[in-house]
Amino acid sequence: MKKLFIACLILVTSATVITSCKSGETKTAYQCPMKCEGEKTYDKPGECPLCKMELKEVK
């Protein structure tokens, strides 16, 4: 029973590590440089719906 528990624990830990380590996938976010909408970000570049300034990439 103890060996089964340890095997399950190792399996769950390994699956968690593998699924959480997605290397190379970085999500780019864009934001109004005037922060008209506070800290709100967008997935794509464009313009701020309030002040019409070009959204800048968040670093």
Domain coordinates of the chain in residue numbers? 27-59
Q: Which residue has the higher pLDDT, 39 or 17?
A: 39
With a cut of 80, say whether residue 14 has pLDDT above it: no
Q: How many other CB atoms are found less than 10 A from the CB of residue 32? A: 21
Q: How many other CB atoms are found less than 10 A from the CB of residue 41? A: 14
Q: What are phi and psi of 28, to 5 degrees?
A: -90, 135
The pLDDT value given to residue 23: 59
Helix or strand or coil: residue 8? helix
The pLDDT value given to residue 17: 73
